[in-house]
A = this chain, B = another copy of it.
Amino acid sequence: MLKAAQILGWSSGLTIISQRLTKTRNSSSSTISLKLSAFSSSSRRILSFIPTRMSSSLPGSDPLPNSPTFVSVQSSGDVRKIKFCQWCGGPTKHEIPDGEEKLRAICTHCGNIAYQNPKMVVGCLIVHEEKVLLCKRNIQPSHGLWTLPAGYLEVGESAAEGAMRETWEEAGATVDVISPFAQLDIPLIGQTYVIFLARLKNLDFAPGPESLECRLFGLDEIPFDSLAFSSIYVTLNLEDLKKGKVKFHYGTINKRPGSSPSDIRAFTLDYHLQP
């Protein structure tokens, strides 16, 4: 496990994000530092485009001196696992179609192209009297670890509806969605977390089948050493929660290639932008 994870805080052209958080964890004494990284000439950093698709490093992403190099890995999804067409059952070939740039699974019978796209995970950050509601997972991955109520968005529902549904399914809680809170992309695994700030309509909550336990934690009691995912770690570390003034956060979680999926601190938070 990393003893310290550097989380790069980017400033947008409209709002300077400057956050510093140093915590000492009871059990591991690891230091987590969220800071505005030192840029060469300007503190105003935005996300710039380099017009090439296949760069292995993120545009605008400068690894800190003497730090491990964190790069974005261009995952192709599991395109080579797609061996048959969903519609006609024909065998696929794996080629880059005319006018495109990515490898696709193309049906050799009907020509259908099986596109693969990132999935949205939607959830609620429920704040009740300066406490947040967390669920201990009763399913893999990360069985026994704590998370926000969240899950895959389904076709036919909005992100906010999906977040409320997942909250009901995992925590038995009915909530009001107050505001969008964060969008956190995880390109390596093709997921985007969309988290809404919400409040309980009442105190009747109880674990659903996918949860072992649901509990309200004070902001200083959050079990950071027993969280399930990097996205949850980032969300619960965003300073707004403590300041009580909530703004929307966009960011990209770049996992350190080769790190264990269970090492939720092996990442950088890049392109942290706020309106």
Residues of A within 8 A of B (CB): 12-15, 46-51, 53, 58-59, 72-77, 81-89, 91, 99, 102, 105, 114-120, 152-161, 164-165, 167-168, 174-181, 183, 185, 187-188, 190, 192, 194, 197, 199, 201, 209, 246-248, 250, 252, 270-271, 273-275
Contact = CB atoms under 8 A, between A and B. Distances in A.
A155 B116 contact: yes
Report the copy number of this chain in the oligomer: 2
B209 A47 contact: no
B156 A74 contact: yes
A167 B50 CA distance: 11
Nearest to A119: B117
Nearest to A99: B209
Contacts of A77: 155-156
Nearest to A45: B176
B153 A117 contact: yes
Given A47-B176, A53-B165, A185 B156 contact: no
